[in-house]
Amino acid sequence: MGDTLEFNEIYHESKGSWNDGRLRFSKQNVVYKSSKTGKVDNIPAAELSVATWRRVCLGHGIKLATSNGHVYKYDGFRDTDYERISEFFKANYKVELTEKDMCVKGWNWGTAKFSGPLLSFDVNDSSVFEIPLASVSQCATGKNEVTLEFHQNDDAEVSLMEVRFYVPPGTADEGTDPVEAFAQNVRSKADVIQATGDAVCVFKELQCLTPRGRYDILIYPAFLHLHGKTFDYKIPYTTVLRLFLLPSKDQRQMFFVISLDPPIKQGQTRYHFLILHFSKEEELKLTLNMSEEEVEKRYEGKLSKNMSGSLYEMVSRVMKALVNRKITVPGNFQGNTPGAQCITCSYKAQSGLLYPLERGFIYVHKPPVHLRFEEISSVNFARGTTTTRSFDFEVETKQGNQFTFSSIEREEYGKLFDFVNAKKLHIKNRGFKEAKNNEYSDSDDDQHDAYLERMKAEGKIREEGDGSNDSDEETDESFNPGEESDVAEEYDSNASESDSGSGGDGSDDEGKKKKPAKKAKVVKEKKERKPRREKKQKDTNAPKRPMSSYMLWLNSSRERIKSENPGISITEISKKAGEMWKQIGKEDKEEWDGKAEEAKKNYEKAMKEYRESGGGSSTPAKKVPFLSIRESKKKAGGKKEDKKRKSGGGEKEKEQGGNDSFKSREFISSEESSSDGERKKAKKAKKAKGKPQSRGKESEEEEEEAMTTPPSSVEDSD
């Protein structure tokens, strides 16, 4: 047989609820650790006196009694575990594991026996049920009755609130009341807080964050009394799980956190943590309400009668001695802020501080959260929902609960990632730190960013739309002679037959009114872009432009900067030179400004000589064709503006194509809108057809209408 026996999923009853954990038997002690609270029961092997094996609701259970009166009960064993445990107890503890059956008759009368911290109700020397007196919160007496009220457990689905015992008269010794004797035995072991005697010490007006307010804290030997203006709380030291002393981020304040189980209650609110807020500058001289001999005997040198120091040190020192628990402080973690051992973040829309500890995380202050590493399943670094300058830290527990600490500064990522990695916690998105652009991924790796994909698709459509001018609306385009019109003419192969009119009657006007709707059906072909004009080649013989004062100084100082900073890159040279230029004195800058001014004068003189010698006159840019094109565009644009302004009554004209050789018989020239060349061409066309030359001045609207008339609508004058 080995030196130890270990059992998983062993249950321990706590105020009506079952908490699972791990139980280990060794030669030196018996250790039980709760998976929910992390509380450890350590029973030395030398103190074990009685061990009982019983059949209970969760299979089989073991009941251990110690020589100092404590009783421990653990359930969840199998029937086959009895032989192993019995042999181990005989070999290592010299204690026999005895089997004892429970009474299942269902009788409600019997004998009440007080055995240490337990009240056992027996029928024929067999136990029916046992009540842990530590769970009793109140004991009331009546004429022949004793009523026991119990602490309520929020984790239990069903809680036992009270039990009444009928005590018949004459069962106790003569001269004593049996009801009072029964109640006295209960109160001696029950968790009934009674402020008897004086407090060991008193702390006045301490600021408390949860529950919020200022309280006087009275320290008693067995409990802690918080006295406020509205509420009072009495906290037994047996309900204290852990103590934390945490420095604030500004290094000027301290948080003293007391973890409680069960929590203190105020109405429907439960406070699992008591958080006291201190300033480091507050000093206190404390005197205990005890003699020096009594202090030395009870606290074994941990406290002294007279003490002085910072207020937070006095409170933490007294609590550590009375509760007999270690104080947890932050470990080696250092945040991005110098000296800070915490991270600023938000939890449930409340801003607070997250402290990475050696064995877990704790968040203060609203609501306080404590997460032990052993109950953490995995962690995840997620991208912030509002901005890319922050990220979220998600913690998932083995019970399936998830805690998200958001709005953490991006600079804290490296420190937190290294801390989590060093503690060997499972990271869901491992490799995320080595990403190329250090971008934060979503908490769900399989889920793509729909918004980003939509933006990409819209951008792609917008780029494709920029190349073509497909639009249902008419736009004012400049008239370019010689270019083909985008609008299909009647004599084109893709023109509609219904577009042709009879010449001058009202049916032609009706056809024109319907043309815009038909234009929308015509698919415009994508135009080819014109080749860009080649840039003019620079003359290598032309004088170079003068440099500024800074560039003159940089050229003279570049070698010196390289020698003073060996291995410096080109970009770093520019940065270094910029810093040095800012530090140069005013007189030195004026000297370099003078050199730059002299270089400028020399450049102007050289440029003048260069031009006089005929430099730069070779193959000038083609200015004349460029100007003629601009003039033709300008005149055509003027025509379209007049047309648009005068045709506001409702008729839209068809745009003129590049066919200047044909003029209809209704063509009338205008001094305002037609050039001399166009009038000459019109006269030649009329002479060729044998028509008279006389014309009256017509409006520009009629002229444009005649120009747009297709050849198919012109009747032969002969």
Under a CB-based contact definition with an 8 Å cutoff, are residues 11 and 74 in contact? yes
625, with CB counted inside 10 A (0-12, 13-18, 19+), is: exposed
Q: Identify the pLDDT of residue 616.
A: 57
Under a CB-based contact definition with an 8 Å cutoff, are residues 585 and 601 in contact? no
Buried b (16+ CB within 10 A) or exposed e, 681-690: bbeebbeeee
Residue 339 pLDDT grade (very low, low, confident, very high; cuts 50, 70, 90): confident
Average pLDDT of the chain is 76
Residue 345 pLDDT grade (very low, low, confident, very high; cuts 50, 70, 90): very high
Q: Is the pLDDT of residue 535 over 90?
A: no
Positive or negative CA dihedral for 82, 86, 88, 92? positive
Identity of the highest mean pLDDT range in 293-302, 510-519, 534-543, 630-639: 293-302
> Largest Cα–Cα distance in the chain?
156
Q: Identify the pLDDT of residue 129.
A: 87
Q: Identify the pLDDT of residue 627.
A: 42
- Segment 351-395, tens digit of pLDDT: 999 999 999 999 998 899 999 999 999 999 988 766 678 899 999
Q: Report which of residues 235 and 620 the model is more confident about.
A: 235
Q: Identify the pLDDT of residue 684.
A: 62
By three-state DSSP, how is residue 331 classified?
A: coil
CA 700 to chain centre: 69
What percent of the chain has a predicted confidence (pLDDT) above 70?
69
Quick one: average pLDDT of 619-636?
A: 44
Q: Counting runs of H as helices and runs of E as strands, what totals does the chain give?
A: 13, 31
Q: Report which of residues 73 and 524 the model is more confident about.
A: 73
Question: What is the pTM for the complete model shown?
Answer: 0.48
How far, in Å, CA of 175 to CA of 153, rounded? 39
Q: Identify the pLDDT of residue 472.
A: 45
- Segment 504-517, tens digit of pLDDT: 444 444 444 444 44
Q: Identify the pLDDT of residue 678.
A: 58
How far, in Å, CA of 226 to CA of 254, rounded? 19
* Closest to 115 in 3D by CA, of 70, 75, 171, 147: 70
Residues 6+ apart with CB under 8 A from 584: 553
Q: Report which of residues 147 and 700 the model is more confident about.
A: 147
Q: Identify the pLDDT of residue 312.
A: 92
- Segment 215-242, tens digit of pLDDT: 999 998 888 888 888 888 888 888 899 9
CA atoms within 13 A on the CB side of 229: 7
Calculated CA dihedral for residues 482, 487, 493, 496, nearest 10 degrees: -150
Q: Is the pLDDT of residue 631 over 90?
A: no
Under a CB-based contact definition with an 8 Å cutoff, are residues 278 and 253 in contact? yes
For 602, the token pair is 């020399």
Residue 444 pLDDT grade (very low, low, confident, very high; cuts 50, 70, 90): very low
Radius of gyration of the chain (CA): 49
- Segment 101-121, tens digit of pLDDT: 888 888 888 898 888 788 889
Quick one: average pLDDT of 311-336?
A: 90
- Segment 163-212, tens digit of pLDDT: 999 988 875 556 678 888 888 888 887 766 665 567 889 999 899 998 88
How far, in Å, CA of 402 to CA of 379, rounded? 9
Lowest mean pLDDT of 57-71, 151-165, 322-336, 589-603, name the range. Answer: 151-165
Lowest mean pLDDT of 132-146, 163-177, 280-294, 306-320, name the range. Answer: 163-177
- Segment 67-79, tens digit of pLDDT: 888 888 899 898 8
Q: Identify the pLDDT of residue 558.
A: 86
By three-state DSSP, how is residue 353 classified?
A: strand
How far, in Å, CA of 42 to CA of 85, rounded? 18
Cis peptide before 365 (omega within 30 of 0): yes
Q: Is the pLDDT of residue 635 over 70?
A: no
Quick one: average pLDDT of 283-293?
A: 88
How far, in Å, CA of 438 to CA of 444, rounded? 17
Calculated CA dihedral for residues 392, 398, 400, 404, nearest 10 degrees: -10
Residue 630 pLDDT grade (very low, low, confident, very high; cuts 50, 70, 90): very low
| Integer CA distances (angstroms), 426 to 362, 399, 409, 420, 622, in order | 18, 15, 22, 8, 72
Residue 527 pLDDT grade (very low, low, confident, very high; cuts 50, 70, 90): low
Q: Identify the pLDDT of residue 654.
A: 43
The crossing angle, in degrees rounded to 10, of helices 586-612 and 549-564 is 120
Lowest mean pLDDT of 295-299, 318-322, 481-485, 580-584, name the range. Answer: 481-485
What is the end-to-end Cα distance of the chain in Å, rounded?
132
